[in-house]
Amino acid sequence: MTNHLQAVTTLNNGTKMPWLGLGVFKVEEGPELVEAVKTAITEGYRSIDTAAIYGNETGVGEGIREGIQAAGIRREDLFVTSKVWNDGLDYDGTVQAFETSLEKLGLDYLDLYLIHWPGKGKYKQAWNALEELYKKGRIRAIGVSNFQVHHLEELMKDAAIKPAINQVERHPKLTQSDLLTYCQQHGIQLEAWSPLMQGQILDNPVLREIAAKYDKSPAQVILRWDLQQKIVLIPKSTKAHRIKENANLFDFELTKEDIEQIDNLNEDHRVGPDPDTFDF
């Protein structure tokens, strides 16, 4: 049950991953980033998500070290994710990108490593590299990000290991219900990035009404909606009060009607690129 901040889901290879983590997309290197990661860990978060393209792995690593010390925990108590960018999607490039990320983070291994986008025709080579790194014990779980159903089907034609995670844009205006169903049927854990739609949906009247009913914020209602549908979350924030607020999700439960109301807000509207048409 997702009934506390450190509750975990078991991925398809047996690795345990927290349901809730901290995302650091668009957070630049510097004291604010280090403090945000440290604050999250001392507040009880055990999952931190970054990526090579964010350009902030060094600061994340510093925040992890400070957070571990402040919270009196071990590296093994944390779940750290990074991602390989599109410029490194051949076999050797992916291995090199992985080593660079580890070095910047100051870690000996990663808990989860993802292919960030399904680059045209290249992601199979990258997946082969991830499989090898996984077999060598350098990564505890491997997965993908921004993959549609057809990308997953294509990947699995040749893959020896099934992705443990598919991290995608998901929020009330983009519910991706077909993709969610597919992943659940195939034992791939769906994870939501930008679950709060970068703040653009927080004044929605339906969400505000549901939030008022539970004396919660619209953000907390959205995150709870995801959790109750068994979706892993990495909301981004650098502000201590928001980091705390985003974790305060475990003392209320949405009804089936609430969930249907939120599902009905879907407009298939993306704030990020479309995985089928992106060109970077």
Sign of CA dihedral 149, 155, 161, 166: negative
Nearest residue to 197 via CA among 123, 251, 271? 271
Residues 202-225: b if buried by 16+ CB within 10 A, e if exposed? bebebbeebbeeeebbbbbbbbbb
Euclidean distance between CA atoms 127 and 130, whole angstroms = 5
Euclidean distance between CA atoms 82 and 54, whole angstroms = 10
- The reply to whether 123 belongs to the active site is no
The string of DSSP codes covering 126-188 is HHHHHHHHHHTTSEEEEEEES--HHHHHHHHHH-SS--SEEEEE-BTTB--HHHHHHHHHTT-
Among the listed residues 54, 113, 123, 134, the single catalytic one is 54
Q: Tell me which DSSP letter residue 83 carries.
A: E
Q: Are the C-beta atoms of residues 20 and 227 closer than 8 Å to each other?
A: yes
Instruction: Please classify residue 150 by burial: count the beta carbons closer than 10 Å to its beta carbon, then call 0-12 exposed, 13-18 middle and 19+ buried.
Output: exposed
Among all residues, which ones are annotated catalytic? 54
